[in-house]
Amino acid sequence: MEDRQTGPGKDRADDKADEAKVDLIAVVVAVNDGEPCLLTIGQADTLPSGPFALEHRSPQSGLRGWVEQQTGHPLGYIEQLYTFADRDRVGAERQQRAISISYLALTRKEQATASCACGWHSWYEYFPWEDHRSGTPPVGVDILRARLIEWADAAGDPATQRERRQRVAIAFGFDDRHWNEELTLQRYELLYEAALVEEASGGKATPPPAAVSGKAMVADHRRILATGVTRLRSKIKYRPVVFELMRPTFTLLQLQRTVEALAGRLIDKPNFRRLVEQQELVEETGDTSVDTGGRPAKLYRFRRAVLDERAFAGTKLPLSRA
């Protein structure tokens, strides 16, 4: 079975020119005090990464090694995100192809080890327009809106103009449309196309100030981050992954704040409680939290058993429409 001789993928002329460098790259997320944080190295503009080497049994294990070596941070939950392999994705300087297999990792910040050239930064530093927890759109969105409409109207024919305006309106929830937090990647790609982020166009156009257009990253790392944000915002709605980010014991409000941090929007407290409880995702520990004013809150822990008990095709947190 292993040694077939017919069919392709085997009968190719084995030209060594087809070989490629393969990198592993990680979007490592934690949530602290209601801020979703990203683990970076360098000038807070680089994701941890390293080459996929022969001694690695699997890409996951290779990734764990690189992240731990570069940041001192051991990883828990990991899932594959996407494989980036377009020819021009990393600049045209090298003739060898650059392939990056990206992963999303969830941890907690506390286990931080001491000194290293790494740091945690709120992911809203990179995407200021993604944080809608204040109820209203963040500052600067009006500037982006103006520039995006400018870009749409700069198109040649009216059909393209309309099409661009519509894409912008849907992605950003303009014109009475509701904000869809899962479109992070679409929004970033739109801003890139409109040359409103620093990474685009090799610095020909002049993007808005960083407070509006966000902190840039090396190569296409910010796009990879956007991919991770989109995946995570989608996944918390049907799989109990939030708990990877929680301490062993927590209050329901802490849990809610974590979800809100990831989703970038507020959710209704009673409804959130109802959902979490009727899904039996958590159980009381019996203790109550040391208080920050007001009535003490019960402490809960995640019922790991649910991971085995159920198949989770619909765990839905209350994050639908507007």
Q: Is the separation of the CB atoms in 63 and 107 below 8 Å?
A: no
Instruction: Report d(CA 265, CA 133) in Å as an integer.
Output: 4
Using CB under 7 A as the binding criterion, the count of chain residues that bind DNA stands at: 25
**Residue 252 binding partner per list DNA, a copy of itself, none, with a CB distance cut-off of 5 to 8 Å that depends on partner kind:** DNA
Per CB under 8 A, does 86 bind a copy of itself? yes
Which has the closest alpha carbon to 235: 127, 80, 24, 130?
Answer: 80
Per CB under 7 A, does 268 bind DNA? yes
Please list, in sequence order, all residues whose beta carbon lies within 8 angstroms of the beta carbon of residue 197, skipping any fewer than 6 positions away: 188, 191, 207, 213, 214, 216, 222
**Residue 108 binding partner per list DNA, a copy of itself, none, with a CB distance cut-off of 5 to 8 Å that depends on partner kind:** none
Per CB under 8 A, does 99 bind a copy of itself? yes
**Residue 291 binding partner per list a copy of itself, DNA, none, with a CB distance cut-off of 5 to 8 Å that depends on partner kind:** DNA
CA–CA–CA angle 113, 116, 122 (5° rounding) = 80
Strands 35-41, 298-302: pairing is unpaired
Part of the chain binding a copy of itself (CB under 8 A), chosen from 30-38, 53-61, 277-285, 292-300:
53-61
Instruction: Report d(CA 94, CA 84) in Å as an integer.
Output: 16
Binding mask 192-221 for a copy of itself (x = CB under 8 A): ------xx----------------x-xx--
> Amino acid identity, residue 226?
A
**Residue 219 binding partner per list a copy of itself, DNA, none, with a CB distance cut-off of 5 to 8 Å that depends on partner kind:** a copy of itself
Part of the chain binding a copy of itself (CB under 8 A), chosen from 54-62, 137-145, 267-275, 284-292:
54-62
Among 34, 51, 248, 296, binds DNA (CB under 7 A): 296
Q: Which pair of tokens denotes residue 166? A: 């519509």
Among 202, 270, 308, 313, binds DNA (CB under 7 A): 270
DSSP lists the bridge partners of residue 77 as 106
DSSP for residue 192: H
Binding mask 228-257 for DNA (x = CB under 7 A): -----------------------xxx----
Among 33, 34, 51, 211, binds a copy of itself (CB under 8 A): 51
Q: What is the 3-state secondary structure (H, E, C) of 241-267?
A: CHHHHCCCCECHHHHHHHHHHHHCCCC
**Residue 42 binding partner per list a copy of itself, DNA, none, with a CB distance cut-off of 5 to 8 Å that depends on partner kind:** a copy of itself
Instruction: Report d(CA 257, CA 264) in Å as an integer.
Output: 10
Per CB under 8 A, does 25 bind a copy of itself? yes
> Is the dihedral angle over the CA atoms 43, 236, 304, 313 positive or is it negative?
negative
Footprint (CB under 7 A) of DNA, residues 297-316: 297-298, 316
DSSP for residue 294: S
- Per the listing, tokens 């109802």 go with 274
Per CB under 8 A, does 1 bind a copy of itself? yes
What is the full DSSP assignment across 71-133?
A: H-----EEEEEEEE--TTTT-SS-SS-EEEEEEEEE--STT--S--SEEEEEGGGT-GGG--T
Binding site for DNA (CB under 7 A): 251-253, 268-271, 273-275, 288, 291-298, 316, 318-322
Binding site for a copy of itself (CB under 8 A): 1-4, 6-9, 12, 17-23, 25, 41-43, 46, 48-54, 56-59, 66, 70, 80, 82-83, 85-87, 90-91, 93, 95, 97, 99, 101, 117, 163, 166-167, 170-171, 180, 182-183, 198-199, 216, 218-219, 308-311, 313-314, 320
